[in-house]
Structure 1
Amino acid sequence: MKHRLMIVVLLALTSGFIGTGNARESRNARAESVAGVFDYYVLSLSWSPTFCLTHQNDTQCSGKGYGFVLHGLWPQYAKGGWPQSCGPRVPLTAAERAKGLTLFPTPKLLEHEWSKHGTCSGLGAMGYLQASDKALGAVKIPPQLQPLNSSYYFEAEEIARLFRQSNPGIPDKGIAVICSGPQLSEVRVCMDKDLSFSACGKGVRTQCRAGEIRVPPVR
């Protein structure tokens, strides 16, 4: 009798563990990336000279004199994280590719950004590219951070302040400065779904060391 009772208990416990696992998998399934289901955008502007320090053979690094370039327009969740690679993934048409190359510095970056981030916008490829164009046009680059012929040094908060001065609608928590080691790498500006400036969600914050950071010259 005791032996039979132990078997029943073990079976019940095993069923409980299986149920817990199924519930966890179900939660994960509901959290899968779905096109159009997100809270806001991050417009990521890459400082091309820093990228070119470690990617000298990339086509954007062939003496074109880029300063800030469009890295991407990224759908984000307010509570942190982001959707990516949403289905159905449709290849870019020739017209969409031509439009994209007026915004992104290289075909490789265009394809990557559309596949990973653009597919989650729910706008379709041309709609996503038009939104990227609108977002890019809404941000004025501070005159102090136009393409430079020699290295400059700023603190990260000073770079954020210069952007807010040139773009008065950006709130205090609506911009993040990203560094690669001691160099400026990116500036990320948060926008709502209507592409108006907004506060950033969880996880989007400045990532630079304290003190001055280097802004490398154009290549």
Structure 2
Amino acid sequence: MQKLKKCLLLAISLCFCLTLWYRPAYAFITLNDQFVAGQACEALESIRSKTNPGNIRLTPQKTYPVVGKNRDNASYYLLKVEGAQPLTRWVSVQCGQLLGSSAPVDQAYLLALSWQPSFCETKPTKPECQSQTAQRFDATNLVLHGLWPQPRTNIYCNVSNDIERLDKNNQWSQLPPINLSQETRNALAVKMPGFASNLHLHEWYKHGTCYSESPEEYFQEAIALLDQVNNSSVGDLFVRNIGNFLSANEIRNQFDEAFHDGAGSKVQVQCERDIDEDKNNMVVELQINLRGNIQPDTPIETLLQAGQTVPAGCTRGEIDPAGFN
């Protein structure tokens, strides 16, 4: 009997040793670095269980202190995330970039620019449409609809359920005010006519919160991209053809001329039917696919080169003049 017990103990010890032998080696490695988020990824309490108390997500373009990584060839970094409980959270290495690395944060965006006279034909009761004149900026320039981090599911980052509910119910006037400089407010009032209907609040809470922790940064950089398009030959093309029709190919070819070959393939043209009996297609919006690390002085040409190639959209549409025809 004693001999049998010894044999059993030996077998158990052998199994335990084999288990240790075949177990993957995970060794926490301490780091002293900074991590720049590229996406609104989940910040996990545990890699194994994937738990995320508080449903914490990173804010794109924000920098976080790095505590360590899960192994030498890391798949996760351990960050300090202010406001999270517990404070340290695991995020996938694919969510951004260590600041010490020379590689930029690689993030996709959709820049939506509207042709306001066409939009107003479909929404004539909007305050910004009722006040539109042929002399106003939006009569002869593309205007800002929004800058949307991709994929499209990347929305409402660290936004409360109450704010999300108000936004989805189009109760934009009841959304909490945001901190913007007077200069940026003045620019939005001109270059985002929907500012009169609180479009800026909707865009910030739905999309901007996944772009930056700062509304000022979000809108300044979006306006800088808008200005580059309006100040190019693309803007000239629209002005020359007010009251006429443009094809998607003409618009995309002009992007190629303004921002080098291939830029036009990143632009999709959106059209709407006119509200009158003519039922003509009107160009309402350009959806421009970008990729890269956006800064106030980033050339849109660079972002277009890396952007996603997309279908042309509607075939042909009118560049509607200001006023209700």
Normalising by structure 1, report the TM-score: 0.70
Alignment pair present for 1:159 and 2:247? no
What residue in structure 1 maps to residue 313 of structure 2?
A: 207
Alpha carbons 1:154, 1:213 under 8 Å: kept = yes
1:213 shift after superposition: 2.1
- Counterpart of 2:272? 180
Contact 1:174/1:199 (<8 A) preserved? no
Rg bigger for which structure?
2
Return the alpha-carbon distance in structure 2 between the equivalents of residues 123 and 102 of structure 1: 24
**Aligned-pair identity (%):** 25
Q: Distance in 2 between matches of 1:158 and 1:187?
A: 13
Pairing 1:101–2:177 present: no
TM-score calculated relative to the size of structure 2:
0.49
Please say if residues 147 and 217 of structure 1, whose CA atoms lie closer than 8 Å, have aligned partners that are also in contact. no
Deviates more, 1:156-165 or 1:95-104: 95-104
Return the alpha-carbon distance in structure 1 between the equivalents of residues 287 and 57 of structure 2. 22
Gaps of 5+ in 2: 1-49, 61-94, 96-105, 161-175, 274-280, 295-302
Q: Which has the higher contact order (CA 8 A, sep 6+)?
A: 1
Task: Name 2:88's counterpart in structure 1.
Answer: none
Q: 1:123 to 1:161 in 2, by over 3 A?
A: farther
User: Separation in 1 of the partners of 2:312 and 2:190?
Assistant: 28
Q: 1:216 to 1:101 in 2, by over 3 A?
A: closer
Structure 1, unmatched stretches of 5+, are: 1-25
Distance 1:33 1:56, change over 3 A: farther
TM-align CA RMSD:
3.2
Distance 1:168 1:190, change over 3 A: same
2:211 maps to amino acid: S
1:52-91 to 2 correspondences below 5 Å: 52-61=120-129, 62-65=131-134, 66=138, 67=140, 68-77=142-151, 81-88=152-159, 91=177
1:129–1:94 CA distance, 2 compared to 1 (3 A): closer
**Count of matched residue positions in the alignment of Structure 1 and Structure 2:** 185
